[in-house]
Amino acid sequence: MLWLTIGIAVDLSKEKLAALVGMKARLWNFMPSHDHLVIRFVDRNSAELFLVLSGCEELAAPVFWEVQDPQYAAVSDDLFSFTDNRVRIVCRDAVLQQRYVRPK
């Protein structure tokens, strides 16, 4: 299976994470065989962003939630965590994109 992602990658700086506050988040796509997770964020104007996480090793999250205080932090030399309220995801790589096409 080929993963197809299309979009403009942006960094996960504090400013970019702060812009997610108040958005509706939803687990959008997960492939356990590839350790690959996508979270979809939607704002009040229906604009979308997608957080594509690869090399996921830990996942604890509700299916959907309102973003309150997203954080990004190093866990080790090659792992980071993305957290927000009841969400904790530990992965190796992440990119925030404006578009995402689900694989068929």
State the total domains in the chain: 1
Q: Quick check: is 5 in a domain? A: no
pTM assigned to the model: 0.85
Q: Is residue 9 part of a domain?
A: no
By residue range, what is the domain housing residue 85?
Answer: 14-97
The model's pLDDT over 26-72, given as tens digits with 9 standing for 90+, comes to: 999 998 888 899 999 999 999 999 999 989 999 999 999 999 999 98
Q: For position 103, what pLDDT does the model report? A: 75
Is 2 contained in some domain? no
Q: Is residue 104 part of a domain?
A: no
The verdict on residue 87 lying in a domain is: yes
The residues, any chain, with a CB within 8 Å of residue 86's CB and separated by 6 or more, are 60, 61, 62, 65
Phi-psi region of 42 (alpha: psi -120 to 50; beta: other; left: phi over 0): beta
